[in-house]
């Protein structure tokens, strides 16, 4: 922290006692009543003029769930969020594009009978995720598509990696992740987003993409992903909660107690070739977001995860919060902390609010 100069200190020194101030010289420069901070808050136009941060439609990425069912299904723990058919997803992404949302993140809901211990479905060029990417890219080519590179939607045990007993096998998992990323790139994804938290996967995926002539595909690394309790509704949405059962991901996702470790994770991923960095979850980790942006100055994103969304929606439904106001305030908090963009289930609602002015 910088130390104020002697001049600044003199301008901000405490006021003299009222009795002296009334009979002696005027109060020091920089003091009340000459300085009234409320003046710049008095009018709506002034508040807009002096705002330090602004939220725009271009700051948002919309997560979209797709499934193979014949109809749209609501997600009970995420009011307003649905599992979409591929056709419905194409239409929804078209609407998002018309609102100015620059990118969507596709999350597939894999049928139970296609989940296996070693996640073969993840690498199938014709799987649900890749089919959705092709359909959306064909219909809405100007909207960017992001896909997670992770195995948890595809494993029968619900973990992000293959297992030997109760141990997650790091290097064996990374091999599968490389094949998954290549299949996604072939389908037309613009950004692969490794969210598995295996060691060394960014460099290996970068090498695999480059060797396949796909050096145009960007890598958004979930570099600081915490073993958080805020993911529950997401696991409901993609159907991995029952697979994971009472298990947890603490042997590979980060301890919520740690901050310096997040910077080490990010530094490793930057050195391995990450184009962008992610902090997940969002609001409980704004300090990490700020530190990451300050340390690396890379495009840095935050994920306002399902639990954060569900809490706001549930409180708003009960009349405990002004849902729209809190939605916008929470998104602005990410910008204030340094985020270049936010993955948020509020993206479409917030975009409509911003368009309305």
Report which of 269, 330, 252, 262 is spatially closest to residue 290, judged by C-alpha positions.
262
How many Å apart are CA 140 and CA 357, to the nearest integer? 26
Going by pLDDT thresholds of 50, 70 and 90, the confidence category of residue 235 is confident
pLDDT at residue 178, rounded to an integer: 98
- Give the mean model confidence (pLDDT) for residues 140-159: 96
Contacts of 294 (CB under 8 A, 6+ apart): 338
Q: Mean pLDDT across the chain, nearest whole number?
A: 92
Going by pLDDT thresholds of 50, 70 and 90, the confidence category of residue 240 is confident
- Give the mean model confidence (pLDDT) for residues 154-181: 96
All domains of the chain in start order, with CATH: 6-49 (no CATH), 58-356 (3.20.20.70)
pLDDT at residue 22, rounded to an integer: 52
Residue 109: is its pLDDT beyond 90?
Answer: yes
Which tens digit of pLDDT belongs to each residue from 86-101? 999 999 999 999 999 9
How many Å apart are CA 356 and CA 344, to the nearest integer? 19
How many Å apart are CA 133 and CA 288, to the nearest integer? 31
Which tens digit of pLDDT belongs to each residue from 303-327? 999 999 999 999 999 999 999 999 9
Residue 244: is its pLDDT beyond 90?
Answer: no
- Give the mean model confidence (pLDDT) for residues 45-61: 96
Strands 191-194 and 218-225: parallel
Contacts of 64 (CB under 8 A, 6+ apart): 84, 89, 92, 93, 104, 105, 106, 107
Global pTM value: 0.90
Residue 70: is its pLDDT beyond 90?
Answer: no
- Give the mean model confidence (pLDDT) for residues 199-221: 98
Dihedral, CA of residue 140, residue 84, residue 350 and residue 325, to nearest 10: 180
Catalytic residue annotation? 225, 280
pLDDT at residue 21, rounded to an integer: 46
Minimum mean pLDDT range among 28-32, 37-41, 124-128, 333-337 = 28-32
pLDDT at residue 12, rounded to an integer: 56
Residue 247: is its pLDDT beyond 50?
Answer: yes
pLDDT at residue 85, rounded to an integer: 97
Which tens digit of pLDDT belongs to each residue from 330-348? 999 999 999 999 999 999 9
Going by pLDDT thresholds of 50, 70 and 90, the confidence category of residue 30 is confident
- Give the mean model confidence (pLDDT) for residues 243-266: 92
How many Å apart are CA 272 and CA 172, to the nearest integer? 18
How many Å apart are CA 191 and CA 276, to the nearest integer? 10
pLDDT at residue 86, rounded to an integer: 97
Q: Would you say 106 and 86 are in contact if contact means Cβ atoms under 8 Å apart?
A: no
């Amino acid at each position: 922290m910088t130390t104020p100069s002697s001049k600044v200190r003199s301008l901000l020194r405490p006021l003299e006692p009222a009795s002296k101030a009334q009979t002696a010289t005027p109060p020091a420069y920089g003091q009340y009543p000459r300085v009234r901070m409320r003046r710049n808050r008095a009018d709506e136009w002034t508040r807009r003029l002096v705002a330090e941060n602004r939220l725009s439609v271009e700051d948002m990425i919309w997560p979209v769930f797709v499934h193979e069912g014949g109809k749209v299904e609501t997600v009970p723990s995420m009011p307003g969020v649905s599992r979409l058919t591929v056709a419905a997803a194409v239409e929804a992404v078209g609407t998002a594009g018309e609102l100015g949302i620059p990118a969507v993140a596709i999350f597939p809901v894999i049928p139970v009978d296609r989940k296996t211990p070693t996640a073969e479905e993840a690498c199938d060029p014709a799987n649900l995720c890749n089919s959705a990417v092709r359909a959306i890219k064909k219909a809405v080519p100007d909207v960017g598509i992001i896909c997670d590179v992770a195995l948890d939607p595809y494993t029968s045990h619900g973990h992000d990696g293959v297992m030997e007993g109760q141990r997650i096998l790091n290097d064996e998992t990374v091999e599968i992740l490389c094949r998954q990323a290549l299949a996604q790139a072939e389908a037309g994804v613009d950004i692969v987003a490794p969210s598995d938290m295996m060691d060394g996967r960014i460099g290996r995926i970068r090498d695999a993409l480059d060797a396949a002539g796909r050096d145009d595909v960007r890598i958004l690394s979930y570099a600081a992903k915490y073993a958080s309790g805020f993911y529950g509704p997401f696991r409901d949405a993609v159907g991995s909660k029952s697979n994971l059962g009472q298990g947890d991901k603490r042997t590979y996702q980060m301890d919520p107690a740690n901050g310096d470790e997040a910077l080490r994770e990010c530094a490793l991923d930057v050195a391995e070739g990450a184009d962008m960095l992610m902090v997940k979850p969002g609001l409980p980790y704004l300090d990490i977001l700020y530190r990451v942006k300050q340390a690396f100055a890379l495009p840095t994103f935050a994920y306002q995860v399902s639990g954060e969304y569900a809490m706001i929606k549930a409180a708003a439904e009960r009349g405990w919060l002004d849902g729209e106001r809190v939605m916008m305030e929470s998104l602005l908090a990410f910008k204030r902390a340094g985020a270049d963009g936010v993955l948020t289930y509020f993206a479409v609602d917030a975009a409509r609010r911003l368009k309305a002015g």
